[in-house]
Amino acid sequence: MSNNAGPGTKDPGLLRMAIDCHLKDLLLRIMSAIHFYKYQGTGNDFVIMDNRKGAYNFLTEEQVHFLCDRRFGIGADGLMLLNTQEGYDFGMKYYNADGRESSMCGNGGRCLVAFARKMGLSSEQLSFLAVDGPHEATLKGDSWVNLKMQDVNGVELGSLYSYLNTGSPHFVKFVEDVKAVDVFSEGRQIRYNDRFAKEGTNVNFVQPLEQGIFVRTYERGVEDETYSCGTGVTAAALMTAGPDEKEYVIPVQTLGGNLEVRFTKTGERSYNNIWLCGPATLVFEGNITLP
């Protein structure tokens, strides 16, 4: 009698090999999956990873861009790594959604502080080092973070705009009705004009309110309007100050919620003790495999 079971029967050895290959591939995918956290601060959202053991130093520009992609990845305005940093509670590394390492992000810094506490850095006052220098922060309750920004000692004042650096460069323009502004079109036109095209700038449209201001921002690196921009809100608030050298508290509305900026004006174009204050919350966490 023939042992040939016919052409429709699969060889058990080949079937086992196929199963083993599938299991090995599945195991490799599980082992290569990266764990992430998604945070947001007034709608400005970020992918965050705990990199204190250097597990994510390998990330490339293309991979960061993929992770921030809202259709094929997790979706975010930027990505941050929580690093170890001698002399500080932690270090902050920030990437824009285009995958490039970038300048300071105020809302990102606040979210990273909230994340650091979740990771066990439980002090109500934390210090960290970012690309623009040292920062300190205080936490109130479950989600409120006050972040100290760098002093500003120089502002370019044009006839229709202001230009300053609050950790990132910002073009500030006051308007009568910020809701009527085509932020994408007008912001992009300024961001890519001859002066700013190479390095880029963030563009803020600001409407004075009875109490505070309403700010909408076109962000470089995202290349679109975001729901909120911490360094942009800070820049706009500084430009709201009157001529008096004193302490100011400026309430700020954004598309994603409310913030507050506190500072002291010390000269015609000088500001210190600048604090960006607002909520920073965990949205979700999960695992994802890089392509």
Q: What CATH number corresponds to the domain at position 81? A: 3.10.310.10
Q: Give the predicted TM-score (pTM) of the model.
A: 0.88
For helices 106-118 and 230-238, angle between their N-to-C axes, nearest 10 degrees: 130
CA proximity to 190, closest of 155, 163, 159, 230:
163
Do 98 and 158 touch, CB atoms closer than 8 A?
no
pLDDT at 68: 98
Given 148, 165, 187, which residue is the final one in a domain? 148
21 as an active site residue: the answer is no
Q: End-to-end CA distance of the chain, in Å?
A: 51
DSSP one-letter code for 211: S
For residue 107, tell me if it sits in a domain: yes
Do 125 and 137 touch, CB atoms closer than 8 A?
yes
For residue 136, tell me if it sits in a domain: yes
Q: Which domain holds residue 94?
A: 34-148
Do 228 and 259 touch, CB atoms closer than 8 A?
yes
For residue 272, tell me if it sits in a domain: yes
The verdict on 140 and 160 lying in the same domain is no
Q: Which of 68, 105, 111, 277 is catalytic?
A: 105
- Determine the Cα–Cα distance for residues 11 and 138; give it in Å rounded to an integer: 65
For residue 15, tell me if it sits in a domain: no
Given 125, 148, 171, which residue is the final one in a domain? 148
Written as one letter, the residue type at 109 is G
Do 204 and 216 touch, CB atoms closer than 8 A?
yes
The verdict on 62 and 95 lying in the same domain is yes
pLDDT at 20: 63
- φ, ψ of residue 247 to 5 degrees: the values are -85, 140
The verdict on 47 and 141 lying in the same domain is yes
The verdict on 133 and 177 lying in the same domain is no
Per-position pLDDT tens, the chain of length 291: 444 444 554 677 777 776 666 555 544 454 468 999 999 999 999 999 999 999 999 999 999 999 999 999 999 999 999 999 999 999 999 999 999 999 999 999 999 999 999 999 978 899 999 999 999 999 998 899 999 999 999 999 999 999 999 999 999 999 999 999 999 999 999 999 999 999 999 999 999 999 999 999 999 999 999 999 999 999 999 999 999 999 999 999 999 999 999 999 999 999 999 999 999 999 999 999 998
For residue 223, tell me if it sits in a domain: yes
3-state secondary structure of 130: strand
How do beta strands 270-279 and 202-208 pair? Answer: unpaired
Q: What angle do CA 35, 26, 24 make, to 5 degrees?
A: 125
How buried is residue 40: exposed, middle or buried, by Cβ count under 10 Å (0-12/13-18/19+)? buried
The verdict on 183 and 238 lying in the same domain is yes
For residue 258, tell me if it sits in a domain: yes
Given 118, 148, 178, which residue is the final one in a domain? 148
105 as an active site residue: the answer is yes
Q: Which of 21, 68, 111, 229 is catalytic?
A: 229
- Could you give the number of structural domains in the chain? 2
DSSP one-letter code for 151: P
The verdict on 270 and 203 lying in the same domain is yes
pLDDT at 199: 93
